[in-house]
Amino acid sequence: MEPRIDMMQSEFGAKVAKRLFAVHGLLQQTSLPHATQDLVMLRASQINGCGHCIDIHSKEAAAAGETTTRINLVAGWRHSTVFTEEEQAALALTEEATRLADASEGVSDETWSRAAKYYDEDQLIALVTLIAMINATNRMAVTLNQLGGSYQPGLMAAVVNQ
């Protein structure tokens, strides 16, 4: 499988990518914990089968000090002991918001209330935005056959800070 398009080689694609990166940079400035952001992006990417984004977010999480155990257990977070209640609430919201088509009600009131118990309004806005953005990015990367395996930690920060 070969990548279909390198967005950064297209003038329009580069503009789109830079705007996506700008939103990511804005989210990094919020009080939503960076570790939570990494877990959310990794979990959504796993659900969406995006090898490119799984590669990026697992390596960035490790580079930021996340443990191998926690990175490896994100896919099975419900059946592990290594995530805080706050992180579990964010992961539950991530799963429901990523799998909207799987539930007629979308995100349940129970899941929303659980997240609202731990995160203030600005953090919830950041969390919902992060989930939406990683889902959009996953869909773009999968559609364009962006492959995982060659990402080097720090590359994303370099692009975000351009």
Q: What is the pLDDT of residue 159?
A: 62
Burial class (CB in 10 A: 0-12, 13-18, 19+), 34: middle
Express each pLDDT in 111-147 by its tens digit: 999 999 999 999 999 999 999 999 999 999 999 999 8
pTM metric for this prediction = 0.93
Per the CB < 8 A criterion, the answer to whether 136 and 105 are in contact is: no
Mean pLDDT, rounded, for 71-89: 98
Mean pLDDT, rounded, for 55-79: 97
Q: Cα 159 to chain center, whole Å?
A: 17
What's the chain's Rg over C-alpha atoms?
15
Express each pLDDT in 2-52 by its tens digit: 889 988 899 999 899 899 989 999 999 999 999 999 999 999 999 999 999
Domains of the chain from N-terminus onward: 15-152 (1.20.1290.10)
Q: Residues 93, 97, 101, 104: is their CA dihedral positive or negative?
A: positive
Query: Residue length, the chain?
Result: 162
